[in-house]
Copies of this chain bind each other. A is one copy, B any other.
Amino acid sequence: MANISKKVSWSGRGDDRGERTPLLNGAEDGKYNRHVLHFVFQSLDYDNSENQLFLEEERRMSHMGFRCLETRRWVICGLIGFLTGLIACLIDIAVEKLAGYKYSAVKQNIEKFTEFGGLSISLILWAVLNSAFVMVGAIAVAFFEPIAAGSGIPQIKCYLNGVKIPRVVRLKTLAIKVFGVICSVAGGLAVGKEGPMIHSGAVVAAGVSQGRSTSLKKDFKIFEYFRRDTEKRDFVSAGAAAGVSAAFGAPVGGVLFSLEEGASFWNQMLTWRIFFASMISTFTLNFFLSIYHGKPGELSSPGLINFGRFDGDYNLYEIPLFIIMGALGGVLGALFNVINYWLTIFRIRYIHRPCLQVMEAMLVAAVTATVSFAMIYFSNDCQPLGQDNTEEYSLQLFCADGEYNSMATAFFNTPERSVRSLFHNPPGSYNPLTLGVFTLAYFVLAVWTYGLTVSAGVFIPSLLIGAAWGRLFGILLSTITSSQSIWADPGKYALIGAAAQLGGIVRMTLSLTVILVEATGSVTYGFPIMLVLITAKIVGDYFIEGLYDVHIKLQSVPFLHWEAPPTSHWLTAREVMSSPVTCFNRVEKVGRIVDVLSNTSCHSYKYRKICGLILRSQLIVLLKHKVFVERASSRLSHRKLQLKDFRDAYPRFPPIQSIHVSQDERECMMDLTEFMNPTPYTVPQETSLPRVFKLFRALGLRHLVVVDNENGVVGLVTRKDLARYHLGKDGLEELHLAQT
């Protein structure tokens, strides 16, 4: 029959039932297979479902209507920037205060016991304080919201890539994240507060743009137009950028971060909005911090990190040295990632119970304090207290009066301040041996710390390690060469070392260059920083991927890279696609739809022609509202469904089990015509994988229908089908799909 038109439906498995998050605890049954992709991760739909309802709404809207929408988008971006800035401010002040109390208490204690002996009591005090802070943070994370663990950058990277990760942008996640990061930084772990800021920004964006909180069951009835994946993802990009901007005082860096990690389709207006959010965020943070610091209105200080300004100069002769440092950073970064990779696998296998996770975090906190204490205790590197001393908690310990222990400046301090000291303290502030030992100790601590069940970032520890060995490099250089004048400034090498180490670990280049340039306020060093980052990336990539990619892979997320593997031209859509596809008639029996969605019956009919695409979530909304046509009469008794009904259910669509359909209703029919997308993107079966990939990635699709010569549906390409293929050591490799 020629005039029976058919329709494709895709029943996503596992996306609305029991949203267990496998992130960071991939396999809780003790078994862990590294080469799988999890079915729990769904794609975000960056392509609008252009069904009749949607088109009618768009066509009704006037030119002014679109203007209003655009204005609203700007307002939302402003709000995102403002709130992200506020949160950054809150984190900063809370960490400062708590760390201040802690260090003051420990310092007093140490000073008391330095004279009388019995410094072990100080050590215990320090270790207990650290562990207590970390315990509170780890409990919050491990028991209440495991997704809040870590820096959050891998998760946001996945989200921007188009992977829907359960619970990643919820309000609860935000609360636990903020609370957790304050605890872990105050607890003296080798962590930074920057990664979590980025995650926080993303959550703020996802919340504000929807005009409601599903968790709090509060709907403000605003911004309803934006309740779909397309719009939400755009706003989350802006939120992530605002987070970077607040964290590093780097608005342009923030925009580039979002683009480098997320955007596939670059839209000028969107980029401007992202930039606007970033700018507002830095501005808000600076404004409130200037009030807090008692200098209201002085806006020129940058974000959370103030690396201070580099006014120095570099010379042509130094460029080979910078490249060598870049290579060194690449090697050290790769080492970091390899160790952390094995550690993470160990953790996934053996430390997956929350209480064990909390105990590990406390152990690390105690060890960190002990190592720090031992290093300070055994080093006898005394430096004179200068006039322009920026150390807030300088320890005299066994040094003479008017001197301080230079190891303590590195350990007895928040990591941000230590980085700044390494960048800017005058030549001669550090003993080479001190720096060497510090680098080693901090490297081990940082590797161990990343991946703990605490909310914490890896940027600052990486910078600190790099700054330490970079400064060491600079000192050694000036010792070797006689011409003091040129190599005089070890701070410069600390900066380059920091860039090399961070680049070696995370492998970002463009955005990281800009972030570092903005954070240090020195455009001059842009070129060497870029050279160093590119070298670090090339060298590091030879051994292992970047840290975030390692963790994404460990979590079996179907992450799509920028392009299909170059050697994949021999694969075609026919080989890549999933089939058979579940098809419905344009007017289908309710019973069959329910059965298919409940997975009780999955056999598909052999249909000829595609006439549209409908989503599981849309079918569920239709079932819920009982949009049925009785068999006998074609009279429509039900209320006409509107886009609003779909938006209200977004994004947490009810599971099929919660919808009750009586036996009578099962015999009714459902007319899907006005709800399906009649013009889905399609490709012929012979299309090569790179071509399919390009279409899928550029348009941010969730499903791509594969058709034959007659326009008949033969298969469906989804994210997993494409993410499966990746370039291994011996050419193209294929990952398995996990069935859970």
Instruction: Give chain B nearest CB distance to A577 CB in angstroms.
Output: 14
A430 within 8 A of B: no
Identify the closest chain B residue to A683 (Cβ).
B679
Contact B251 A260 (CB under 8 A): no
Per-residue contact bits, chain A 296-334, to B (CB 8 Å; 1 contact, 0 not): 111110100000000001111100000000000000000
Contact between chains at B679 and A687 (CB < 8 Å):
yes
Residue of B nearest to A287 (CB): B316
Asked if A167 is at the interface (CB within 8 A of a chain B CB), the reply is no
Q: Contact at A298–B315, with CB atoms within 8 Å?
A: yes
- Roughly how many angstroms separate A282 CA and B268 CA in the complex, as a whole number? 26
Stretch touching chain B among A394-402, A476-484, A559-567, A715-723: A559-567
Task: Name the B residues within 8 Å of A296 (CB-CB).
Answer: 316
Question: Does A219 make an interface contact (CB < 8 A)?
Answer: no
In the complex, the answer to whether B265 meets A530 with C-beta atoms within 8 Å is: no
Judge whether A567 and B66 touch: CB under 8 Å. yes
Chain A contacts with B in 19-77, Cβ cutoff 8 A: 50, 55, 58-59, 61-63, 66
Which of A62, A282, A562 is most buried by chain B, counting CB atoms within 10 A of its CB?
Answer: A562
A251-B527 in contact (CB<8A) = yes
Q: Which residues of B contact A683 (CB under 8 A)?
A: 679, 681
Residues of B within 8 A of A527 (CB): 251, 279, 282-283, 299
Contact partner, A300, options B314, B534, B691, Cβ 8 Å: B314
Find residues 210-252 in chain A having any chain B CB closer than 8 Å to their own CB. Answer: 249, 251-252
Q: How far is the CA of A212 from the CA of B518 in the complex (A)?
A: 40
- Within 8 Å by CB of A63, from B263, B514, B523, B727, lies B727
The answer on a CB contact under 8 Å between A63 and B266 is no
Task: State which of A269-277, A347-355, A651-659 sits at the interface with chain B.
Answer: A269-277
CA distance A611 to B727 in the complex (A): 32
Whether, in the assembled complex, A709 has its beta carbon less than 8 Å from a beta carbon of chain B, the answer is yes
A684 sits at the interface (CB 8 A): yes
Q: How far is the CA of A63 from the CA of B568 in the complex (A)?
A: 10
**Interface residues contributed by chain A, number (CB under 8 Å):** 83
Given contacts A55-B569, A699-B694, contact A562 B524 (CB under 8 A): no
Q: Is A18 an interface residue (CB 8 A)?
A: no
* Contact code string A250-294 (vs B, CB < 8 Å = 1, else 0): 011001100110011111110110011001001100010000000
Interface 1/0s, chain A 694-711, versus B by CB < 8 A?
110011000000010111
Report yes or no: B66 in contact with A526, Cβ–Cβ below 8 A. no
A130 at the interface (CB under 8 A from B): no
Interface string of A404-430 (1 = CB under 8 A from B): 000000000000000000000000000
A297-B316, A300-B524 known; A566 vs B63 contact (CB < 8 Å): yes
Across-interface contacts of A687 in B (CB, < 8 A): 679
Chain A contacts with B in 634-670, Cβ cutoff 8 A:
none
- Chain B residues, Cβ within 8 Å of A688: 50, 55, 679
- The smallest beta-carbon distance between A526 and chain B, in angstroms, is 6
In chain A, residues 573-627, which have Cβ atoms closer than 8 Å to a Cβ of chain B?
A: 609, 611
A302-B523 contact, Cβ under 8 Å, with A316-B297, A569-B58? yes
Which residues of chain B are within 8 angstroms of A531 by Cβ–Cβ distance?
279
Given A63-B727, A314-B300, A569-B59, is A259 in contact with B266 using a C-beta cutoff of 8 Å?
Answer: yes
By a CB distance below 8 angstroms, the chain B residues around A256 are 252
A392: interface (CB < 8 Å) = no
Task: Tell me the nearest residue of chain B to A529, going by C-beta.
Answer: B279
The answer to whether A734 has its CB under 8 Å from any CB of chain B is no
Shortest distance in angstroms between A392's beta carbon and chain B's nearest beta carbon?
A: 24
User: Contacts A62-B567, A260-B268, A300-B314 given; 11 further ones with Cβ under 8 A?
Assistant: A63-B727, A267-B563, A275-B530, A297-B316, A299-B315, A518-B523, A518-B526, A521-B524, A679-B688, A681-B695, A694-B699
- List chain A positions with a Cβ less than 8 A from chain B: 50, 55, 58-59, 61-63, 66, 249, 251-252, 255-256, 259-260, 263-269, 271-272, 275-276, 279, 282-283, 287, 296-300, 302, 313-317, 509-510, 513-514, 517-518, 521, 523-524, 526-527, 530-531, 534, 562-563, 566-567, 569-570, 609, 611, 678-679, 681-684, 686-688, 691, 694-695, 698-699, 707, 709-711, 727, 731
**Subset of 12 A-B contacts with CB under 8 Å:** A59-B570, A63-B731, A252-B517, A267-B562, A269-B562, A279-B527, A282-B527, A297-B316, A609-B709, A694-B699, A710-B711, A711-B711
